[in-house]
């Protein structure tokens, strides 16, 4: 059977938990992990920082997600560009915003657009990430595409409680749209966590039967990278938050250990160069002795 694209969405009830930071870096990590395959980032966040970061802050794409959903003639490939960060990372950019989007009221057009988008994912990509704004309003539109939902929370009481509410809201949504009592959250990503807070988050979600799939530590390098319009995983690959994002990518792809291999490979390459130099030196000394 043909392998379908894994579509991932990051959610939170409250803004600023780190969805955009994680989504954009996860996209780059997937692209690094699968050099022969394409990854796509669909930017639905009104801040459009993902678009600026992945395309360069001064690039204005010809068509964006707004044009795609508005104009019946625009195809996904018309509104998709290659990221300047990685050649195999595609971006459906967001320049004009997404909401309020008049054509979204046209149910038939919306359905057609979503099915075109899904077909594009399946034909051209292995992973698709949708960067949504906070809340559930926009999720409604993309609900039919989504394969895996992660909740992004911070380790504060407010954020944890908001996350809990989101789990409830999504169960209701499942009941309404799928007529099934189903938990739609596949896991929690705890972001900006400082040492000692991990257990607090894990225990909090245990009662809902939701696993914390990844702890992303707090790191000042996150802000540094954002200020430079760079992705953390390329700006500081050895930063603990970058390592956590690579771990998450490897877990989602079922390629656990890749994040260590990727670090090991670069060490091996370095090791390889040193070994070559050492051999050259030995050879030279042998030749000198012969002379
Ligand atoms: N692991 C982290 N360590 C330190 N700072 C972080 C971390 N993750 C995110 N931040 C900070 O939090 C800010 C908000 O993150 P981000 O924009 O990704 O949140 P968001 O969930 O996408 O917000 P919105 O709901 O508004 O779209 C970032 O600008 C960054 O400064
Ligand atoms: Mg965001």
Ligand 1 centre distance from Cα of residue 223 (Å): 8
Mutate to test the pocket of ligand 1, among 9, 18, 136 (most ligand atoms within 8 A of CB): 18
Ligand 2 centre distance from Cα of residue 243 (Å): 21
Alpha helices in the chain (DSSP H): 19-33, 49-55, 65-70, 107-124, 137-142, 157-178, 198-206, 220-227, 232-235, 240-252, 258-290
Ligand 1 centre distance from Cα of residue 277 (Å): 44
Query: Ligand 1 pocket, 159 CB below 6 A?
Result: no
Query: Ligand 1 pocket, 17 CB below 6 A?
Result: yes
Which homologous superfamily does the CATH classification assign to the domain defined by 6-256? P-loop containing nucleotide triphosphate hydrolases (3.40.50.300)
Q: For residue 100, is the peptide bond before it cis, meaning its omega torsion is within 30 degrees of 0?
A: yes
Q: Enumerate the domain spans of the chain.
A: 6-256, 265-291
**CA dist list (Å): 84 to 25, 76, 161:** 14, 19, 38
Tell me if residue 131 falls in helix, strand or coil. strand
Q: Is the Cβ–Cβ distance between 104 and 141 less than 8 Å?
A: yes
Query: Ligand 1 pocket, 191 CB below 6 A?
Result: yes
pLDDT in tens, the chain (291 residues): 567 999 999 999 989 999 999 999 999 999 999 999 999 999 998 877 888 889 987 778 889 999 999 889 999 999 999 999 999 999 999 988 776 566 677 888 989 999 999 999 999 999 999 999 998 888 888 888 888 999 999 999 999 999 999 988 888 877 777 676 666 789 999 999 999 999 999 999 998 889 999 999 999 999 999 999 999 999 999 999 999 999 999 999 998 888 766 655 555 555 555 555 555 665 666 566 655
Query: Ligand 1 pocket, 219 CB below 6 A?
Result: yes
Q: Is the Cβ–Cβ distance between 135 and 10 less than 8 Å?
A: no
Cα(47)–Cα(133) distance, integer angstroms? 8
């Amino acid at each position: 059977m043909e392998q379908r694209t894994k579509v991932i969405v990051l959610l939170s009830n409250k803004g600023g938990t780190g969805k955009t930071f994680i989504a954009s870096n996860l996209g780059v990590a997937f692209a690094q992990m699968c050099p022969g395959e394409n990854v796509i980032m669909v930017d639905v966040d009104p801040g459009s920082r993902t678009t600026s970061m992945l395309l360069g802050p001064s690039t204005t794409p010809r068509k964006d997600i707004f044009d795609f959903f508005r104009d019946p003639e625009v195809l996904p490939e018309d509104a998709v560009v290659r990221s300047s960060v990685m050649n195999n990372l595609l971006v459906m950019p967001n320049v004009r915003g997404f909401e309020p989007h008049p054509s979204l009221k046209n149910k038939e057009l919306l359905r057609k657009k979503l099915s075109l988008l899904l077909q594009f994912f399946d034909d051209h990509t292995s992973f698709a990430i949708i960067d949504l704004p906070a809340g559930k309003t926009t999720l409604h539109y993309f609900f039919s595409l989504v394969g895996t939902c992660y909740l992004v929370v911070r380790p504060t009481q407010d954020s944890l409680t908001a996350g809990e509410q989101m789990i409830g809201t999504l169960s209701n949504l499942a009941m309404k749209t799928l007529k099934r009592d189903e938990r739609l959250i596949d896991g929690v990503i705890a972001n900006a966590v400082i040492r000692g807070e991990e257990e607090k988050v894990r225990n909090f979600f245990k009662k809902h039967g939701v696993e914390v799939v990844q702890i992303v530590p707090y790191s000042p390098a996150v802000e540094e990278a954002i200020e430079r319009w760079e992705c953390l995983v390329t700006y500081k690959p050895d930063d603990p938050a970058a390592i956590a994002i690579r771990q998450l990518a490897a877990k989602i792809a079922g390629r656990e250990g890749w994040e260590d291999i990727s670090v090991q490979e670069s060490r091996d390459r370095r090791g390889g160069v040193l070994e070559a130099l050492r051999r050259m030196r030995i050879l030279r000394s042998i030749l000198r002795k012969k002379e």
